Amino acid sequence: MNSYFSNLSSYLGIQYFFSDNNTITLTSFLLKSWLFIYAIKFTCFLLIFILQKMDFVSIKNVGLTNWANDTSTYVFIFQVFILGPILEEILFRGILKGNIYLVSASISAFVFFCVKIYYKKNFYDVDEKFFFALLLSIVTFVVFVTVFRFTNIGVNISKLYASNTYLRFLIVISALCFAYWHSSNFEAKDFLSISLILALLPHFISGIVYSGVCLKYGITYSIMLHMSVNLLPVLQAVFQKK
């Protein structure tokens, strides 16, 4: 798995920030991951800023600002800094390990979000629909774990995840979905505008990096990294709160 991540890193041009050397510490790995993500964020922000000054693009980041203004500060911090990273990592990275429990949890998270979408509710609002979605996702989890454990499906899943080609494909698809997930944070003239692509590129790269951390150290650490990346935008939104 380590050699796999090394190859993936070199494909994406980020080998400089990561090392397959067994002497690399967890703290160093997470720190380099965080710095790399923010380097991409800053670069894309700078490009968008320059292009906006030249009237080439038009885009506005409204997601967190509106969210912070529409809810209390403590609830906002809980939703974006704690609950969001946990649910999103389970949804987008839970499918990467080939573990029947994590795969089942990922499917359950998908059901949770589908219920919230159906009722047109904020994904992270703890309301009556939250508990209904939570109950349905728990039932889904139990059903899929049971199916995976007592049928050949679980064995076939393990064989499928043994293929690095399949895993590479899954990581890229997961990162693309993760980027699209954040498209509602931005207002752009059209869906395929250059500005929106630049705005979502950091989320795509972040998805790749979170995947690497999840594969190398486990989903707990990808959640921790995700939380740390969300911290600065959360603080910015809180300080700009009206």
Q: How many domains is the chain built from?
A: 1
pLDDT of res. 194: 76
At 225, is the pLDDT very low, low, confident or very high (cuts 50, 70, 90)?
A: very high
Tokens found for residue 181? 């997930």
Give backbone dihedrals phi and psi of 31, rounded to 5 degrees, phi first: -65, -45
Mean pLDDT of the chain: 80
Whether the per-residue pLDDT at 88 is higher than 60: the answer is yes
pLDDT at 119 over 50: yes
* pLDDT exceeds 60 at position 70: yes
Q: Which of 97-101, 171-175, 219-223 has the lowest mean pLDDT?
A: 97-101
The confidence band for 199, taking pLDDT boundaries of 50, 70 and 90, is: confident
The Cα–Cα gap between 59 and 15 comes to 31
- The pLDDT score that the predictor gives to residue 189 is 63
Q: How much is the pLDDT for 221?
A: 93
Domain with 66 in it: 2-17+24-239
Distance in angstroms (rounded) separating the CA atoms of residues 148 and 143: 9
